[in-house]
Structure formats: structure tokens, C-alpha cells
A = this chain, B = another copy of it.
Amino acid sequence: MTDKKNTKDMLGRSGLVPVRQALDTLLGALAGVRIATETIPLTEAFDRVLAEPVIAREDLPIQARSTMDGFAVRAADTFGASQSMPCYLNITGEVRMGEAAFGEVKKGCCHKIPTGGLLPQGADGVVMLEHTVPIDDTMIEIVKGVGSGTNLIQRGEDIGAGKEALPAGHLLRPQDVGLLAGLGVSEVPVTKKIRVGILSTGDEIIPHTSIPLPGQIRNINTLALAGLVRRAGAVYVDYGIVSDREEIFLPAMKTAVRENDIVLFSGGSSVGIRDLGTQVVEALGPPGILVHGVTLKPGKPILIGLSKTKPIFGLPGHPVSAMVCFDFFVRPTIKFLSGRKSQPDLPVPSVMARLTRNINSAPGRRDVIRVKLIKEDDGWKAEPILGKSGSISTLSRAHGFFMIDEDSQGVTENSVIKVHLFK
């Protein structure tokens, strides 16, 4: 058990670290960590992260096709055709879906073609059905001419052979899985799902299915954190409620660190009388504790450590504080370890709203204020939900939050604020 120089204030904490610096410290320490990869069928790849770039092995589409129902033509034959000055073409063939295009479209001729049909030889444009008038089975009147390439998708126009279809670190959204299906990719290399072990500490905590005796409280944090882990695309492993006596807590933490990529424990980072978090994280090191206490409210007493390459988060026992810490520290760590890269770093979508009252904030601290959104004629108003961080119902009543940064002393009524909706 080391008594580190940086854990020395009157409460056994180091000075508070700004939020951004705390996260950078952790992610910096994780810079060289490689996550295991696996190859899985494309049909199971939804919302997984590509471990390697995918290179197109062929052109997509592999042949030019019509994007309209109509007639495949030599565009030059139709130049200038209009309602008042139509042109006439002989129908000399028909392209059928799912079949190769037979024959060639000769000058003055056309082939009937459906949407998605392969462009026959000779043709370089498609006249939409709507711009034709049938004369008989062998002839059509064209009332609007087309240019070369009109109503076509060219070979390789979607993506060319040899080109990078998707980069490493890309999260596979529905459209990306679709693109890979189009390219004939049947298996993809992805990073393994991040496993997050969750322990709840404290001798007063009982399972949510139990009836509390005086002094006991039900375990809220395990399920709340498990839900956040799931939504972050990772898998959670529930280690239940663990006594905060060191001889029980330390072995349980050792098991969780061995079996997971990230470990969360809640309750032990508050500077309680029996608090063992600091000692246990140091015992699991090196490097041990990286950050103890951040300029964030709620969430100040978070403890961030590292056991070799595995991040350990000691989250505050209050559910709201634990969940805010998850947003600011755990979710970005899951994203980082999963190898996910945003390209470009995407904005967080938000909603602008009018604040319904003054909110004060201490300088040097980032305040996270939960709000309820209420529709107004010309937009939204945000009503702060003030409550203690032990009050889980404040989060349940809220739609999102806004932040008052370290350099601000507060926000006045009717200011327009940026509300981040809960993920």
C-alpha cells in the first residue's frame, strides 16, 4: 500500500483535476493498448467496430444499370426531343431483371428496360417511361431527350475495385453493413466487445429484490451502470454486491480485473469511514491510481486507476454521480478501447433551449445540470431538475443535461443553453 504524494489533502485526496485533463491522463496511459479482434459473419456485425479497413474487391455496381423504368437509348438519338418536337425510336429488345442484356441498341433503336436492369451494349442513357408515349409494340415517341449517362448508375460509380470501402475503427451502422453486403463481404474482422465488470460495494447495500432493514439500501448502481454499458456497445458482467472489508473486496476486484477489460466499482470512492477504494486500486497496480477527484459536480470523488492496461473506475455511491461519471469518463474509455474512430470527430447532437431560471456555479468546477424539456410555441424551454445526487428520480425525470464550464459562475434565466439528450 503506497502513500502516494498526490493523495495528500485533508480528505486523502489530491487536488481536484479538471475533467478534460483527467480523461486525457487515462487515455494517454492506454495509448499503446491493443484490443483482441475476431472475424465474424457480416450478418452479426451490426454496431461492431472494424478492426481493419475493408477494401472493395470488385466494382459496385459491377455493370452499368438503369435507375428508372423506361427505354435504354443512344442519348444522341434523343437530343432536343420535346413535347412539341418529339423523336421516334424502334423498340428492338427488352432487358429483363436478373438477366444479362441481349443484343445491342443500334442507332434509331431502343430497348425496354426496368429499374435496376443492366444497360445493353450501345446504349448510354435511359429515357423515363413518363417521358414517352407508346405508339405501338414496335415504336415509342420520346417527348424529352436525355444526355449521355442520364438515369444510369455507372460501373464502379458506387465504389471502385481496390478502393477502401470502410476504414479501420469504423462503427458498422446499418448502411455500412449494407455496403459490405453489396461488395460480397461475408465475414468481417472486428474488435472484440469490451467487457465491463461491475461491483457494488458497501455493507449497507442489498439486492434490489430484497426488503431493506433499517440502514440498508437497495442496489441501484449495478443495474443503472449495466444499462449504460449496454448502450455504449459493451458487455457487462455483474459481480454483485461485495463487502467493503479488504479481505473480501480485494480478491473480488482481482477476479474482475482478470476477467474484464474495464472494472467499475461504485460506493468505495466516496471518502467514507471504511473507504478502501484507494488502497485496493493501488494494490491492483501498477501503475495504480491516476486521478482521485475531478472538478465535476456531481461526480467529484471519482477515482481512476490502472492495473497494467486495465482501467478501474471507483464511482461515487450516489447513483446520479455514478451515472454522470460514466458519461464523462467510462463511455469515452469504452469507445477508445473498442478501437472506434469517429471520422471526423462528430458533433454531439443537441437541442437549444431557453433556461427557465438562474443557476449559479462555483468557478473552477464543471456543473452538470439535469433538465426537463418542455415544448414552447417557438422552440423548447429547459427546466432544471434540482435534487441531490443521491436522488435517482431526478435522472429519471430529466431528458438531458447541460454543462456550466469551469470558467463560468452560472447561467441566467432565459439564456439559450445547449441540452445534450441522454444516450
Provide the bound-state CA to CA distance between A351 and B420, in Å.
11
> At the interface, yes or no: A273 with Cβ under 8 Å from chain B?
yes
Per-residue interface assignment for chain A, residues 314 to 338, with 1 indicating a CB less than 8 Å from any chain B CB and 0 otherwise? 0001110001000000000000000
> At the interface, yes or no: A415 with Cβ under 8 Å from chain B?
no
Provide the bound-state CA to CA distance between A159 and B319, in Å.
14
Provide the bound-state CA to CA distance between A94 and B219, in Å.
23
Per-residue interface assignment for chain A, residues 62 to 98, with 1 indicating a CB less than 8 Å from any chain B CB and 0 otherwise? 1101010100000000000000000000000000111
Contacts A178-B392, A179-B393 known; 10 new A-B pairs at CB < 8 A: A60-B393, A96-B273, A99-B215, A115-B270, A166-B396, A178-B319, A179-B220, A181-B220, A181-B223, A184-B218
> At the interface, yes or no: A295 with Cβ under 8 Å from chain B?
no
> At the interface, yes or no: A211 with Cβ under 8 Å from chain B?
yes
Interface size class of A (residues with CB under 8 A): 35 or more
A346-382 interface with B by 8 A CB criterion: 346-347, 349-351, 373-375, 380
Question: Can you tell how many copies of this chain the complex includes?
Answer: 2
> At the interface, yes or no: A136 with Cβ under 8 Å from chain B?
no
Residues of B within 8 A of A183 (CB): 218
Nearest opposing residue in chain B for A170, CB measure: B396
Nearest opposing residue in chain B for A227, CB measure: B174
Residue of A129, A373, A380, A388 contacting most chain B CB atoms (<10 Å): A388
Contact A388 B219 (CB under 8 A): no
- In the complex where A98-B215, A116-B217, A158-B391 touch, is A175 in contact with B272 (Cβ < 8 A)? no
